[in-house]
Amino acid sequence: MGRWEPDAAGRLRTAALELHVERGFEQTTVAEIAERAGVTARTFFRYFSDKREVLFGGSEHLQAAMVAAVESAPAASAPLDVVAAALTAAAEMIGGNRAYAEQRWSVISANADLRERELMKMESLAAALADALRGRGVPDPRAGLAAEAGIAVFRVGFERWVSGPTAELADVLAAALADLRVLAAG
């Protein structure tokens, strides 16, 4: 046992989400989040590089899972099928916590600065996927394109999933990818 309550970062994440739901992101100061978590604002910035970052905790795990799915896909798979495997991996990781996803989404979509950060995370994801595709031998303009297209599918599908009626995330993403294929063929 340490000198302090354990898991300061987790407490900060919880406190932040609570306060953001209660009164909105802009109306919440870092000092207030820190106070609810039982630390000071200085400690907040030791765990999170800025005020927004506290809402984007699991993004490295999601990225790692999607990259792993790309790397472990059959060697013969076409690029977009590999991307499909990455989307399935993402759905497995996120699709189970719809209530949490919805709450977090309501906070993020209500604030422009948070939407910006979300886009940045998606772009980082796309860059990692593109790298992984290049590692499989997909040549350069196509690797980036397949990755970006995959992220576009993810974003459109995810938004439909959190906003719309009950459905499995994996199914929504698969349908969106199928739609993209139809579009490109038409």
- Residues at the interface with DNA (CB under 7 A): 1-4, 8, 28-31, 38-43, 45-47, 49-52
| Residue (7 or 102) nearer to DNA, CB | 7
Q: Which entry of DNA, a copy of itself, none binds 45, CB below 5 to 8 A by partner kind?
A: DNA
- To a copy of itself, the closest distance from the beta carbon of 100 in angstroms equals 23
Among 65, 101, 152, 174, binds a copy of itself (CB under 8 A): 152
By CB under 8 A, residue 76 contacts a copy of itself: no
By CB under 8 A, residue 5 contacts a copy of itself: no
CA–CA gap between residue 146 and residue 152 (Å, rounded): 10
- To DNA, the closest distance from the beta carbon of 26 in angstroms equals 8
| Residue (65 or 110) nearer to DNA, CB | 110
Contacts of 62 (CB under 8 A, 6+ apart): 90, 93, 94, 125
By CB under 8 A, residue 141 contacts a copy of itself: yes
